[in-house]
Structures are given as C-alpha cells and as structure tokens.
Amino acid sequence: MTNILLRRQLRLSTSIGLISFLLTVGLTSAWQPTQASTPQQLVQATTAQNAPTELKNLLTQVDAAASKGDVKGVLQFYSPNFTHGDGLDRQTLEKSLVSLWQRYPKLQYTTKLLSAKAEGNAIIAETETQIIGSPSSKSNNLGMNATIKSRQRVVDGKILRQDILSERTLLTSGSNPPQIEVKLPQQVKVGQKYNFDAIVQEPLDDDFLLGTALEEPIRADKYLNPTPVDLQLLTSGGVFKVGQAPLIPGSQWVSAVILRGNGMTMVTQRLEVVKK
C-alpha cells in the first residue's frame, strides 16, 4: 500500500509544473489587439506598479476560473503553435491538466505580475503564482502548496512560448506530516556535484522514518508517466544525498519523500543544469 500511495503522490508532484501555465491567462487577455493601449504602454503601466484596472480585474477572474478547473477556458489563450521549455505542446497540456484536476478538484490560485517588456510584436512577461490545494477524498487527503515563477512570450493575444524559471511543490498527508527544511542550489554546472538535504525539523521521539531522494530529468513524458518510488528506513532525521549533475544542460526535478506513522511529506524543486 505504501508504494502504491507514493507512486500516486509522485505523479502529482511531477505534474505540478503544469499549474504554472495558468499564470499567464490574465496577461494574454489584457493584451488583446482590440484594446487601445500599445504593448509599450501596457509595459510602462505594469512596471510602474499601476497596472490598468482591466488587467487587475482580469487576473482575479482568471484565478477564479482556474480554481474551477475550466480546461477549455484556459486553452483558448494558447497558440496552436505553443511550445514549452519542458517539451510540452498544447495537446499535452490539455491531457495533463485534465488528469491533474481530476486528482485535485480544489486548487486555489493567487497570481502576481513581476515584470513585463515589449520585444517587437511580442510581450515578455514574468509571473509568480502560489497554489494551495486543500485535502480531498479524491486525492487521499493530500495537501498541496506550490510556488512557481515563469516567463511567457505573448503574441497577438496568445501564449506562444513559456519557460519555468523556478518551482517548489510541497505535498502532505496524514494528521502530522513531517516538517522539512530543504537545502538545494537553484543552479549547478554540468557534471558538478551538489548536496541535497531534506531535514526533519521536529523531534522524532519513537517514530521510525522511511524516505528517499529522487532525481529525474524534466521531459514531456514525465508529466503523464510517473516514476515509482521505493522507500528505505532512514537512520537519521532526514534525507541527505550528494548528487551529480548530468553532462548535458537541462532541467531536473529533485524530490524527497519522508514518511512516518501519522504523516507523509514530499517536496520537489527544480534544479537548472547549465554549461560551464
């Protein structure tokens, strides 16, 4: 039973990057060609921290729609030629969002615009969102807390390109999930060794801990095909691992899972591997 449960939890974790797609919907609608403002004028407004009322209202509406799991409403803002840094396209996005929202029917979104600039006929916008998922009987009482930053390229009111800049996802279950402090660099060079520590913060008393650490490349197929997790008995208060970056630049998901008698915590962060 434990292994089956953790497989499901890992599937949710590796699909969490899809939530970041929803950050951009409000921005694209605000820049539809029917509006009088030019892209340069809108950029000046947002960077001056006095975004138009229409944009503020739209972001609120989109957060509400995303919380309802309206997939068709989201996809109307994506170009048929949409591409993503993780290898996804519009069709993969739709399938994955449907799967994710079936498991998490109650997600609450809070979106914030960080910056925006004009680049030719496009708008380059960076955004941040926090996603809170309340426990649900359909997700084995899992709770979710995710923070994701992304950059999107918007052309003619449609999202043409998106890249995830950073992400951190926390999944919990049970009455007393372990409180974990994670230490992981955001970026490493190809072939470089790095430390990944997931430290349990509270006293263990008589509890036994099971856990593991997992590294995997971020690819489109990973969004729909989870990696199984095998837990081991931990001899210390957490997971401590020395990893080594691959020799090819790219993005990695680094995860830690820690389970005790009355709770489970899983944390996943994105690690960027860059050239020397």
- Name the pTM for this structure: 0.79
pLDDT at 13 over 80: no
62 falls in which pLDDT band (50, 70, 90)? low
Q: What is the model's pLDDT at position 152?
A: 83
Give residue 22's pLDDT: 39
- Cα separation of 272 and 249, whole Å? 8
More confident: 20 or 84: 84
> Residues 204-241: pLDDT tens digits?
777 789 999 989 888 877 766 667 778 889 988 999 99
More confident residue, 174 or 225: 174
Instruction: Please state whether beta strands 210-217 and 187-189 pair in parallel, antiparallel, or not at all (unpaired).
Output: unpaired
Do the first three CATH levels of 2-167 and 171-274 match, i.e. the same topology?
no
Domain limits of the chain?
A: 2-167, 171-274
pLDDT in tens, 128-151: 888 898 776 655 667 889 998 988
CATH T-level assignment (fold) for domain 2-167: Nuclear Transport Factor 2; Chain: A, (3.10.450)
Angle at 130 between CA 157 and CA 46, to 5 degrees: 45
CB 142 within 8 Å of CB 12: yes
Residue 42 has pLDDT above 70, yes or no: no
What's domain 171-274's superfamily in CATH? SOR catalytic domain (2.60.40.730)
Between residues 276 and 161, which one has the greater pLDDT?
161
| 223/92 Cα distance (integer angstroms) | 9
Q: What's the confidence (pLDDT) of residue 129? A: 82
**In this predicted structure, what is the pLDDT of residue 231?**
85
